[in-house]
Amino acid sequence: MTTARLLKLIARTGRVAEPLDRGDYGLQLRDGFVAPRTLRGSVQVRHVDAGSCNGCELELGAAFGPVYDAERIGARLVASPRHADVVAVTGVVTQNMAEPLLNTVDATPHPRVVVSIGDCTRGCGEFVNSYAVAGSVDDIVDVDVHIPGCPPPPGAIIAALRAVTGR
């Protein structure tokens, strides 16, 4: 196939992705949470793995991958907390990650939103009585949006990001 024919086929086919699932995923928003007006367009997301089993990271990767494509709702992963609007935290907070999590949240400019992803971020899951666990994410930082599930589906992560942007 020539390059010209391939480009015509791409233009004719357009973007192919799953439609946005507008289902109820049981998102838990902090009392009185209102999406900041400055985040109405797009958000930059800084992900922090505070000590998870990587199940939530797989789903987060799928949410930003080509099938669910979180960028179509204006969300983008960034490497620096100084460029972020949203801090997405996965896993229990281990002793070694408590201070880096606090530093990351403190380095994120206001207005910022903290999103906890997965059941481990609330009740510490399987690691509840471990000597290596400092606590749940709620114990360390103030969480604005919690996404339940072990692990939550990519659609739930998209729904949370839509709630943050007010879309």
Please report, in tens digits, the pLDDT of each residue of the chain (167 residues total): 688 888 888 788 776 665 656 666 777 778 777 777 766 778 899 999 988 888 889 999 999 998 888 888 888 999 999 999 899 999 899 989 999 999 999 999 988 899 999 988 888 777 778 888 888 888 899 898 999 988 899 989 998 888 888 76
Residue 105 CA: distances (Å) to CA of 27, 68, 83, 141, 163: 21, 27, 12, 8, 20
Pick the CATH number of 39-165 from 3.40.50.620, 3.40.50.12280, 3.30.499.10, 3.40.50.970: 3.40.50.12280
What local confidence, expressed as pLDDT, does residue 114 receive?
93
Cα torsion 131, 133, 135, 136: sign: negative
pTM value is 0.81
Is the distance from CB of 109 to CB of 82 less than 8 angstroms? yes
Strand 75-77 relative to strand 86-90: parallel, antiparallel, unpaired?
Answer: unpaired
* Residues listed for the chain: 167
What local confidence, expressed as pLDDT, does residue 165 receive?
81
Is the distance from CB of 122 to CB of 137 less than 8 angstroms? yes
What local confidence, expressed as pLDDT, does residue 27 receive?
78
The residue type at 40? R
What local confidence, expressed as pLDDT, does residue 16 receive?
62
Compute the distance between CA of residue 16 and CA of residue 7 in angstroms, rounded to an integer: 15
DSSP letter string, 65-104: STTT-GGGGTEEE-S-GGG-SEEEEES-EETTTHHHHHHH
Distance of CA 25 to the CA centre of its chain: 14
Distance of CA 4 to the CA centre of its chain: 39
Using left for φ > 0, alpha for ψ between -120 and 50, and beta otherwise, residue 42 falls in beta
- 112-123 in b/e form (b: 16+ CB < 10 A) is bbbbbbbbbbbe
User: Could you state, in order of their start, the residue ranges of all structural domains in the chain?
Assistant: 39-165
